Structure 1
Amino acid sequence: MKSDERPRFQDLSRSKAPPGFRGRSGLIVLLWQSVQQTLFALSPQPAYAWRRWLLRLFGAEVGQGVLVRPTVRVTYPWKVKLGNHCWIGDNAELYSLGPITIGNNAVVSQRSYLCAATHDYKDIIFPLTAQPILIEHEAWVAADCFVAPGVTIGAGAIVGARSTVLRDVAPGTIVAGYPAVFKAKRMPNCASTQLEQ
């Protein structure tokens, strides 16, 4: 490349979706966005069954007794799995360009952001890459946390409020901070086999 030439960037508005982002037409995406901003977001707080039904209608796997607040935002519900009796708090965001799985009895508190995609910084056009997030059963992501792409939060773990989770969290531990680091064991002498029951 000559020194006076600038690199050519990909026009993402006209490009095909990268592998992993295909599978739903633009019309379905637009329909979900419209439903989310109206029928979902404007529903009364106690209308959990209604919001569960809407998520299932658009392909989410939703267990029994799931509590999703009306202000929750889900990018692609067909890439989301919610286990039995999990809770998703007010203004939480499930940026589900990649798969997001939340286990049984797990909690994602208000304003937390689960980001299941990033950009390949080694490529000049920054292509999107999807990386799954797994919140295992009985884990708690407290208020206003960021969970990075590809992270697994182990069974029974707790992420302290306003933490940034950039790597996996071991089962039964408490982490906090920016970036989140180990603080304590949640349950002394707890084994992951006990948590898997």
Structure 2
Amino acid sequence: MLAQDLSRFRVPATFRGRSGWYVQLWWLVQASLFTWSPQVLYGWRRFLLRLFGAKIGKGVIIRPSTRITYPWKVSIGDFAWVGDDVVLYSLGEIDIGANAVVSQRCYLCTGSHDYTQPTFDIYTKPILVGAEAWLATDVFVAPGVRIGRGAVVGARSSVFEDIPELMLAKGTPAKPFKKRLLTGEQN
């Protein structure tokens, strides 16, 4: 028996959440109108994402080099930031809370394959980035992970397990190491 027989792999019919034509249309729009838009046209990119079913809050900053697989599976809260070269591999749901920051080159991955099956079945698990959380540069977030409200994940970390709210975490795998203490004026 083969450990993996990719000739038998099939994407389930409703997996994408939209027709193949709709998916291709989004990818065309993303590769042109979204990517080619000037950096400061955040409203234009919010409009395009909403047009394709994303739930985008007010004041969201999303850079033109961001890649989103299926925007209809993405929700981004008010005043959140999504940086350059971020990948939202939204085979499953991705929810980014209000005032959260997903910094440059982060990769949020909601899907993987069942390596115990020769058919290499695909599956998804949602990702939640809590309100006021910060994913620093080049963080990888695995399927099914929840980043708590106000948590901070250090640069180049890989997150495979939930991070509690208001905790600082770092490393591969990322581990919480300190409570986030807030100082200064609070509004």
The reply to whether TM is greater than 0.5 is yes
| Gap change, CA 1:7 and 1:85, over 3 Å in 2 | closer
Show structure 2 runs of 5+ residues with no match. Answer: 183-187
> What residue is the counterpart of 1:9 in the other structure?
5
Q: Shift of the alpha carbon at 1:12?
A: 6.0
> What residue is the counterpart of 2:95 in the other structure?
101
Q: Shift of the alpha carbon at 1:9?
A: 2.5
Structure 1 CA distance for aligned equivalents of residues 138 and 16 of structure 2: 30
Q: In the alignment, is residue 150 of structure 1 matched against residue 150 of structure 2? A: no
Q: Shift of the alpha carbon at 1:183?
A: 1.8
Q: In the alignment, is residue 114 of structure 1 matched against residue 126 of structure 2? A: no
**Aligned amino acid, residue 62 of structure 2:** V
Structure 2 CA distance for aligned equivalents of residues 59 and 42 of structure 1: 20
| Gap change, CA 1:41 and 1:8, over 3 Å in 2 | closer
Query: Aligned with 2:7: secondary structure?
Result: coil
Select the structure with the greater relative contact order (CA < 8 A; seq sep ≥ 6): 2
> What residue is the counterpart of 1:47 in the other structure?
41
Matches within 5 A, 1:21-60: 21-60=15-54
Q: Give a deviation string over 1:152-185, Cα, whole Å, max 9, x none.
A: 0000000000000010000000000111112210
Q: Give a deviation string over 1:124-160, Cα, whole Å, max 9, x none.
A: 1211101000001000000001000000000000000
Matches within 5 A, 1:131-146: 131-146=125-140
Structure 1 stretches of 4+ moved >2 Å: 6-13, 17-20
**Aligned amino acid, residue 136 of structure 2:** A
Q: Determine what percentage of the aligned residue pairs are the same residue.
A: 53
Larger Rg: 1
Q: Give a deviation string over 1:86-143, Cα, whole Å, max 9, x none.
A: 0000000000000000000000000000000111111112111010000010000000
**Aligned amino acid, residue 60 of structure 1:** A
Structure 1 CA distance for aligned equivalents of residues 106 and 60 of structure 2: 17
> What residue is the counterpart of 2:185 in the other structure?
none
Q: CA RMSD in A?
A: 1.7
Show structure 1 runs of 5+ residues with no match. Answer: 189-197
Q: Shift of the alpha carbon at 1:10?
A: 4.8
